[in-house]
Structure 1
């Protein structure tokens, strides 16, 4: 399946290949903007709601760290070695499983949905699109991105929910100060 997707991607118009390569990283900035919008929207909400929004990025960092540990344990080489792909193949030692982009995108989408459910319609499809783009540009196998989506969707929201108990009193304290 990987080779079918990569071979197809190489037949697409140059503008689509450029968009795919740009979009694999640009989507991360979209998630950062969505976090900023969520924090702004919840700044006057109950302390626990704002605490979830604040804990969300910490959950994403936690999910990323989990994925880095898995990468070191699994040590799966990139599929792009020795073949033509849209994106340059990362250097040897930059392991493939799981996809960090997918972990971060799914973690961001999952924690944003916890904070503001209305973002599900944009966050979840964006995470899936970003994950697919990593296969499309040739730097990950499909199972890398599937595992990344799973790790992100589980680890980040779970961490955020566990952290909200510690963050909520801090939000209350910050609000009580002039």
Structure 2
């Protein structure tokens, strides 16, 4: 079912074509690196979450509950984004503007707004920031680079990724704070066979 059928080209289509024009004149090896990052870079957030969990084992219940909540919050943010994306139904810019792009244009029905990658990256950055500030700083830089790469390879308008980052942040922040209420559950888990997963002591 088509939703709002939002036309994004009128918002920042000229910025999109300017960026993809730069990409066309960029050396192929550089574009390959950016495309690989854009396609697979979300795995970095998973690695950072594993590190946050490992370090939280010796940092108490409050840190542990946030480390455990981080991946759950990111998944919830992604699901909400999918629902919004289907409702808005914005066509990909490479379908509407027919520009030459670094990466092949997604097929019809693969909607553009907001960017899934940007929402996940924004949510992960906030979740990691609240779980472990140092890892959160790394994640914040990675989130911006992820969002920018989606425009560079031609699969999103700039507004898709900007709103995506903001949406991920707006969803993840209250969910992470809400997760703090589950801290007592970590304490109970420490008295069971799950103890090695929640504490190093």
TM-score (normalised: structure 1) = 0.95
- Paired position in structure 2 for 1:66: 80
Distance (whole Å) between structure 2 residues aligned to residue 28 and residue 158 of structure 1: 22
- Paired position in structure 1 for 2:130: 114
Q: Does 1:151 align with 2:185?
A: no
Distance (whole Å) between structure 2 residues aligned to residue 111 and residue 157 of structure 1: 7
Distance (whole Å) between structure 1 residues aligned to residue 185 and residue 39 of structure 2: 32
Q: Does 1:54 align with 2:59?
A: no
Render the CA deviation track for 1:34-81: whole Å, top value 9, x for unaligned: 000010001122112100111111111111112111111110000011
**Of the candidates 17, 34, 37, which is equivalent to residue 51 of structure 2?**
37
Shift of 1:83: 2.3
- Paired position in structure 1 for 2:192: 177
Within a 5 Å distance, the mapping from 1:5-154 to structure 2 comes to: 5-81=19-95, 82-154=98-170
Shift of 1:23: 0.3
Max radius of gyration: which structure? 2
Distance (whole Å) between structure 2 residues aligned to residue 90 and residue 23 of structure 1: 17
Structure 2: gaps (5+ residues): 1-14, 194-201
Distance (whole Å) between structure 1 residues aligned to residue 68 and residue 149 of structure 2: 28
Distance (whole Å) between structure 2 residues aligned to residue 136 and residue 11 of structure 1: 12
Aligned residues: 177
Shift of 1:163: 2.4
- Superposed CA RMSD: 1.1
Does the 8 Å contact 1:59/1:160 carry over to 2?
yes
Shift of 1:146: 0.5
Distance (whole Å) between structure 2 residues aligned to residue 123 and residue 70 of structure 1: 24
Render the CA deviation track for 1:67-103: whole Å, top value 9, x for unaligned: 1111111100000113210111111111000000000
Structure 1: gaps (5+ residues): none
